Chain A
């Protein structure tokens, strides 16, 4: 089955700096890679996703890159703000079987 690894487990940046979170996956059949943001005690919220036929996707300050050959994908947050502080989870799934596996999470702290 799919195994997703996520690094780092914690990340602290200064407001305005960039933050990068990296994930690797094991199953070459995975073709959909969402990123979720979870604030304390709340539900995970989808913030961006990418399919395997695309190498990069951007939405304002958030971007995701995918390297299918190396089986890794990354989340990039630019111009970080204190409200970006949360736990971020990457995930990988195969669209055909809906089997989604999550990384262990990264706790991002943005210091004002």
Chain B
């Protein structure tokens, strides 16, 4: 139980394009989903908290117009990196909460050329 999927697993895009990442809880309903960014050899940095049916709550320093989050249902949240630039290249991981525990997706490695 408590499986979270994330797609795509890897994406390469040109600078200036937008990339959408999907996060799904497969066998449970998640009222809250989270989006993290992880740089090599570093910890998970929370970008935003996404609640179904409402606007996401962004962490300080995270541009909400650049990282668009949509939580359309209890099993799906999407993160769109708009007008991506090379500095946006990173490992993006989502998680979904079941009671107090967060279960993570496999991550999406984004490379912006």
Contacts and interface: CB of A to CB of B under 8 A. Distances in A.
B101 A34 contact: yes
Interface residues on B, range: 20 to 34
Contact of A49 (B4, B34, B46, B101): B101
B106 A42 contact: yes
B43 A104 contact: yes
11 contacts: A34-B102, A41-B107, A42-B107, A43-B4, A43-B93, A49-B101, A95-B100, A98-B100, A100-B102, A104-B43, A105-B42
7 shortest interchain CB distances as A-B pairs: A43-B104, A95-B100, A104-B43, A32-B100, A43-B106, A102-B44, A44-B104
Interface of A: 32, 34, 36, 41-46, 49, 51, 89, 93, 95, 98-105, 107
Contact of B46 (A43, A44, A101): A101
Contact of B100 (A44, A45, A93, A107): A93
Contacts of B90: none
Contacts of A44: 44, 93, 104
Contact of A104 (B42, B49, B100): B42
Given A98-B32, A98-B49, A46 B43 contact: no
Nearest to A93: B100
Given A32-B100, A46-B101, A93-B100, A103 B43 contact: yes
Task: Give the interface centre of A51, A93, A98, A101 by most chain B CB atoms within 10 Å.
Answer: A98
Contacts of B43: 89, 102-105
Nearest to B45: A102
B25 to A, nearest CB: 13
A43 B105 contact: yes
Contacts of B106: 42-43
Contacts of B70: none
